[in-house]
Structure formats: structure tokens, C-alpha cells
Structure 1
Amino acid sequence: MTASLDLTVDPVELTAALVDIPSVSGGEKAIADAVEQALRDRCPHLEVVRNGDAVLARTHLGRDTRVVLAGHLDTVPINDNLPSRRTGSGEDEHLHGCGTVDMKGGDAVMLHLAATLTEPRYDLTFVFYDCEEVEAERNGLNRIERELPEWLDGDLAVVCEPSDAAIEAGCQGTMRVEVRTSGKRAHTARAWMGENAIHAAEPVLRRLSEYAPREPVIDGLQFREGLQAVRVEGGVAGNVVPDSCVVAVNHRFAPDKSLADAEAHLREVFDGFEVTVVDGAAGALPGLTAPAAARLVEASGAAPVAKLGWTDVARFAARGLPAVNFGPGSPALAHTQQENVRTADIRRCADVLRRFLG
């Protein structure tokens, strides 16, 4: 039986209802069914389509500007943190449970606005998608982009990921590489006959420890780059000089760099060593000079900040849309057993977006 959702209630109540529908990545059918049914029943002003376990809805009002609001329906595995519960009161009230932060609070805000903004200032598209919390190739936005690409078009994208109810503009890019060293095997009793590949990685680690990351300012926002070893693998046995070592490195780079720029930089940093690119994803420029983005910042009444991480805003930026993150909850609490969101943040996000869109 499909769960019944009232999209017109307080977004905090709606968040709790969504949290109480388990939706671990790959198991979003129940929540997608509930969202689809609620949108079809409550929102005759919206075109609604189902794509796998993603649900999409949009207006057709002939406005000059279209805003896309996006949020994923899945969560990380439940960690003895369901059903939802509340603590505190007033400004200190918190809603606890898996997905409260990442990101059913944002989904609830989107659903509430979808139902209650029947004559918005802009045309609106709402995208509720699946499998964001797992490997990138399973992300529902990939499938939507292949099968229904026009649903991701617009003039501004707002991804309602947790941002402490502040506008986080753009996002960093990310690249993973492996730096390899080689040697010659020998018995450790006759170590002088070999060449230790792990010892040969010492210059790699030194370059990392001495690395000074950039802190560029882009559109008035300060980004902070990073370069970190995240894994070292080597060794054959307890009595063998190793002939191979791999240092896995993660690079977070500001959105004024392309993937090619990031790769060239890493090859320069590790000049003289074998470098293999494992994967990478470009960042997204803040795009705050776009008219719709500027109006959103004005509606928020607060200064935007740079997104120091990678999010799906980059997918929209790659399609030519300026994109921001704006949602309730602290990213630091996402994926934790203690996941909880301040209910005032949920209401603030709903109020800001209502001022902007209404």
C-alpha cells in the first residue's frame, strides 16, 4: 500500500513523513510511489512523469525564466535511526532520523512548494531522483539526462542538499590519481640486493606534505583546494623487499580549473613518477551574476559561501545552468547515526524559496 503524503502541511511534518519511509539507495520504490501519487493527487497544475524511481514535475506557465529544483530520494543505510523523533522546542527543536539532513528536509521543502505555489513568478521544474548515495554511474540524474534531457533545462538550478540553510554557490571539482613507484624484489636478509618501492615513495609523500594549496576567490567567494594521500599500498610478504608501491591521491580543485587543468597540475606536482588518473569530475562556477541567482541571494538576506565539496550542481552547470546548493541541515551530520536537522532551518529554506519563487 502506497504511503499517503499531505504536501500542504508544515514542511517539518512532511519531512518526518518522508523520513519514516525507508529509502536506502536502490530501494526507493516506496517513497517514489508516495511522491508520485501525492503530486498527481494534489498538484493538477503540474505535469508529472515517472522515470524509474525518479519523479519529475513541472509547470507550463510561459514564464521567461525556468528554475529547476532537485533533490535525491535515497539515503545511506539505516543505522538504528528510524523512525524519526523530535527533541527540544522552539528554535532549538530538532528532527532526528536517517535522511533528515541528507536530504529529506530539502525534499519536503520542494514538495511543499510544488503543492502550494500554483502561480509562481517563474516556471518551475521539480526533480526527485534516485541512487545519489552510491556509485556515480547509478545516479538517477544520468538516466534522466539520457532519456528526458529537456527536464533538466532551465535558467537556474537549486539543489536542495544540506547547506546549513545558506546558499552555497558552485562546487569544487575532484580528481583521483595513483602515483606508482617500482623497485626490485629481494629477501630482506639480503636487502642490499633489492630496491624498496615503498622507500621510493618517500619523495611523493614529501611533496604532498609540503604542498601549498590555492585559495582562489571566484565571484567574491573563497574556495580552498586540497591535495591528500588517501591510501598507500605496497608489500609482498614480511620477508620480501617490495617491488611496487601505489600512493592514491585525491585532489579537490576550484571551479576555475578544468579537468584537463587539474590533471596537468598533478602531473607537474608528481613529475618524474608514473601518474594514472582513476576518475574525476569538474566543478561548477558560482554563477551568481545570473539574474535568477542574484534574486535568490537577495531573497535569502544572507551572504552566499563557496561549496567546498562536489555535488550534483556540477551536472547542471555542465548543461549551462548556474547552480547553487540550498537546503536545511548541516552536512557534517549527514550519514551519521546522530543525523538530525533543526526544524527552524527547514522552515527558513521554505520561506526563502517562497519569497524567491512566489
Structure 2
Amino acid sequence: MSSHPALNLHSDPIDLTAALVDIPSVSRAESVIADAVEAALREQTVGFEIIRSGNAVLARTDRGLPSRVMLAGHLDTVPIADNVPSRRERDGVEGDVLHGCGTVDMKSGDAVFLHLAATIEEPAHDITLVFYDCEEIDAALNGLGRIERELPEWLAADVAILGEPSGGFIEAGCQGTLRVRLSAVGTRAHSARSWLGDNAIHKFGAVLNRLAAYSAREVDIDGCLYREGLQAVRISGGVAGNVVPDAAELDVNFRFAPDRSVEQAIEHVRDVVDGLDLGFEVTDSSPGALPGLAAPAAAALIEAAGGRFRAKYGWTDVSRFSALGIPAVNYGPGDPNLAHKRDERVPTDQITNVTAVLRGYLTTG
């Protein structure tokens, strides 16, 4: 008897989304959903080589077609918030909507990819499918990174489509992200004798003013407008209610356009805080991804989607593909603003529309 639920890849992608949502798959606990996906691909697709890497499932065709399209999606979700199993609301104020953990991020995208793999009989491109684990947690655990290290040949493609929620728009590239910890040192004293101390928290006054007045750069790349942002995201310090603090920290997050490298982003933040007596430590960084929409395979996808594209402001795994020289876009059902929320939900017509667009793209030379 099977230890995993059976998936029908030929069913409507809306129903397939619900079936995927009904399999809990919080990060690091994706084995059951990976078993179900692997079994369904082996039983219901033709012409795919299929392998397993941990809790990731990979499949590809080798028909000798002139181009290769990668469809990639993560199988894991954030922790469940009383929103599994799925629930379909057909006549609500938002129309026909599917509720549940992962409906947006990103089991609806996975369902579209699985359905197309099983139902397209004459593709115009060779297809690679990558369903991977641990995307929602520490980047060091990301299954796509493991595949890149251990099975790099599986990530070769002319264009990569990541099924991240994009509201049915093609969201091209992504911005980079940088986190810097600024530190201030002072002298501890009793607050009743504050002149004997040096308040570390007060030393952040100048940098907070600079951040509040910061003018964000906008840059157009391949017709995609990226708007940068530099924000204080955490501040800590203080000893007690009657003590002048002698240490404090301020975390700053810089979301930068993909025409900057991580090194250039670091130098820009250094310039913003130049002249202030503060410690400077880079605590996290990830490069952005150029949209690459001029590449023929990417341009054809834009055309298939009716020219609906925009810049991706958040960071996604398209950055990994961009670093490999592969044009990559985010394209999937769902409003990214609803990802990870207790009331996560996706309009079912977006699942249907994304399926139709990708079917047209994958079957047109």
C-alpha cells in the first residue's frame, strides 16, 4: 500500500493544487509530497528521465529539440497556520478562490508544471522539471543549491521559469538584498549622572536621519523598472531603565537593482554612512538577477503572455539561474502579498490562465 497520497496529473490544475496543499510539506518535512510527485511523474508522464535528490524530484526530456525550458518550483511551505486542508470558495466576494497553505507560495505553480508535463504530447522545447526542498528556510539548506553543487548538468537551460506567485504577470529578474549591522560603542553610567556616560543609542541619530532622507534610485533594465530601498529594520541596545547604554546595534537592509553587484551594494551603503563613528558588518547578502528578456526564449515567453511583464522587487531563486547565465523569470498564479498569510488564497482563474499561457508557449516553436 502506498505511503503517500496519489496525485492525478491529468486532473484540472485547480484540483491538483488542492491535492498538493492537502499534503503537509513544511520545510524539512517534504518527503511525503516528494514521494507523491515522483510516483505521479513516473506513472503519468512519457519521455521523461526522472531522478531523486533528497526531497527534490527532477525530470527532463531529451528529444533533441532546439531549446530547453526549465520549470522550477519548491515543494515546501512555511509552517501551517490552521489552513490545511484546502478549502474552495466558489461564490465569495472575490469570486472562485482556493484557500490553504501553499496555494500562493507555491503549490499552484507546481500544479501547473506537473499538469503540463503530463498533458503536453508534442512540446516545441525540451523540458526540465525541478521540484525542490527547503526554499523557505536558511539559504544554505535550499535544495536548489544542493542540486547546483551535486547535479549541475540538470540546471542547463535556455530559459528558466520559476513558479513563484506573480499574479499572472511575468516578473523578470529580481533585486539583490544586503543586510548590514551598524554598531555603536559608548560609556555606561547611571542615568541620573548621564554626563558621566556616553549614550551609544544616541549615536544612531545621524544615520537614522540619513536613512529617512534617502532618495531611492530607479533604474530601467529591459523595460523593467526597479526601485531600490534602504531601510533600518532592527535596532537594539540598552541595559536597564536607569542606565546610559554603552552598546547598541542597528540593522539596515538594502534592496538593490540587479545592475549592481553585491560588492557595489556594500560600497554604496558604506558611502551612505561615511563619516560616522559606527562599526560596519555585512551579515547577509544575495545578488540580484538581470531580467534577460532580450534572450530569444525569454522574449517568446513574454509574447505568449501577451506582453504582461514587470520587475520583481523581492529576491527569489531566479538569482541562482542568472548567476549560471540562464535568463530566468518568475511566473505563477497568486498574489505574492498573500504568501505566508493565515488567509493565503489564490483565484482559480489565475491557475487556469497561467496553465493556458505556458501550454501555448511550450507547444509553439
What's the counterpart of residue 164 of structure 1? Answer: 167
Shift of 1:118: 3.0
What's the counterpart of residue 82 of structure 2? Answer: 80
Task: Give the Cα–Cα distance (whole angstroms) in 2 for the partners of residues 136 and 171 of structure 1.
Answer: 16
**Does the 8 Å contact 1:98/1:339 carry over to 2?**
yes
Task: Give the Cα–Cα distance (whole angstroms) in 2 for the partners of residues 47 and 89 of structure 1.
Answer: 42
Q: Secondary structure at the match of 1:93?
A: strand
Task: Give the Cα–Cα distance (whole angstroms) in 1 for the partners of residues 331 and 138 of structure 2.
Answer: 23
Please, which runs of 5 or more residues in structure 2 have no aligned partner?
none
**Does the 8 Å contact 1:45/1:118 carry over to 2?**
no
What's the counterpart of residue 352 of structure 1? Answer: 357
Shift of 1:89: 4.7
Shift of 1:144: 0.7
- Counting only pairs closer than 5 Å after superposition, residues 133-152 of structure 1 correspond to structure 2 as 133-152=136-155
Alignment length, in residue pairs? Answer: 358
What's the counterpart of residue 205 of structure 1? Answer: 208
What's the counterpart of residue 285 of structure 1? Answer: 290
Per-residue deviation, residues 214-265 of structure 1 (Å, max 9, x unmatched): 0111111111110110111111222221111111000000001000110000
The question of 1:332 aligning with 2:334 is answered no
The question of 1:301 aligning with 2:303 is answered no
Task: Give the Cα–Cα distance (whole angstroms) in 1 for the partners of residues 253 and 71 of structure 2.
Answer: 30
The question of 1:228 aligning with 2:231 is answered yes
Task: Give the Cα–Cα distance (whole angstroms) in 1 for the partners of residues 7 and 272 of structure 2.
Answer: 53
Task: Give the Cα–Cα distance (whole angstroms) in 1 for the partners of residues 224 and 146 of structure 2.
Answer: 32
What residue identity is the alignment partner of 2:78? V
RMSD: 1.1
Shift of 1:181: 1.5
**Does the 8 Å contact 1:173/1:281 carry over to 2?**
yes
**Does the 8 Å contact 1:159/1:323 carry over to 2?**
yes
Q: Secondary structure at the match of 1:255?
A: coil
The question of 1:263 aligning with 2:266 is answered yes
Per-residue deviation, residues 64-95 of structure 1 (Å, max 9, x unmatched): 21111100001111111111111125992111
**Does the 8 Å contact 1:187/1:241 carry over to 2?**
yes
What's the counterpart of residue 195 of structure 1? Answer: 198
Q: Secondary structure at the match of 2:59?
A: strand
Identity %: 61
Task: Give the Cα–Cα distance (whole angstroms) in 2 for the partners of residues 201 and 338 of structure 1.
Answer: 38
What's the counterpart of residue 58 of structure 2? Answer: 56
Task: Give the Cα–Cα distance (whole angstroms) in 2 for the partners of residues 286 and 148 of structure 1.
Answer: 24
Shift of 1:274: 2.1
Task: Give the Cα–Cα distance (whole angstroms) in 2 for the partners of residues 133 and 189 of structure 1.
Answer: 47
**Does the 8 Å contact 1:183/1:194 carry over to 2?**
yes
Per-residue deviation, residues 308-347 of structure 1 (Å, max 9, x unmatched): 1100000110010010000000001110111110110001
What residue identity is the alignment partner of 2:316? T
Q: Secondary structure at the match of 1:341?
A: strand
**Does the 8 Å contact 2:46/2:118 carry over to 1?**
no
The question of 1:184 aligning with 2:187 is answered yes
Task: Give the Cα–Cα distance (whole angstroms) in 2 for the partners of residues 55 and 331 of structure 1.
Answer: 24
Further displaced range: 17-26 or 86-95? 86-95
Task: Give the Cα–Cα distance (whole angstroms) in 2 for the partners of residues 242 and 6 of structure 1.
Answer: 61
Task: Give the Cα–Cα distance (whole angstroms) in 2 for the partners of residues 89 and 119 of structure 1.
Answer: 37
What's the counterpart of residue 320 of structure 2? Answer: 315
**Does the 8 Å contact 2:162/2:331 carry over to 1?**
yes
Task: Give the Cα–Cα distance (whole angstroms) in 2 for the partners of residues 183 and 5 of structure 1.
Answer: 61
Aligned equivalent of 1:219, options 203, 222, 226: 222
Shift of 1:279: 1.0
Task: Give the Cα–Cα distance (whole angstroms) in 2 for the partners of residues 339 and 345 of structure 1.
Answer: 14
The question of 1:128 aligning with 2:128 is answered no
Per-residue deviation, residues 190-225 of structure 1 (Å, max 9, x unmatched): 110111111111001111101011011111111111
Shift of 1:112: 0.4
Q: Secondary structure at the match of 1:233?
A: strand
Per-residue deviation, residues 44-83 of structure 1 (Å, max 9, x unmatched): 3100000000000000011121111100001111111111
TM-score, structure 1 normalization = 0.98
What residue identity is the alignment partner of 1:59? T
**Does the 8 Å contact 1:230/1:248 carry over to 2?**
yes
The question of 1:20 aligning with 2:52 is answered no
What residue identity is the alignment partner of 1:310? W
The question of 1:33 aligning with 2:35 is answered yes
**Does the 8 Å contact 1:175/1:281 carry over to 2?**
yes
**Does the 8 Å contact 2:179/2:283 carry over to 1?**
yes
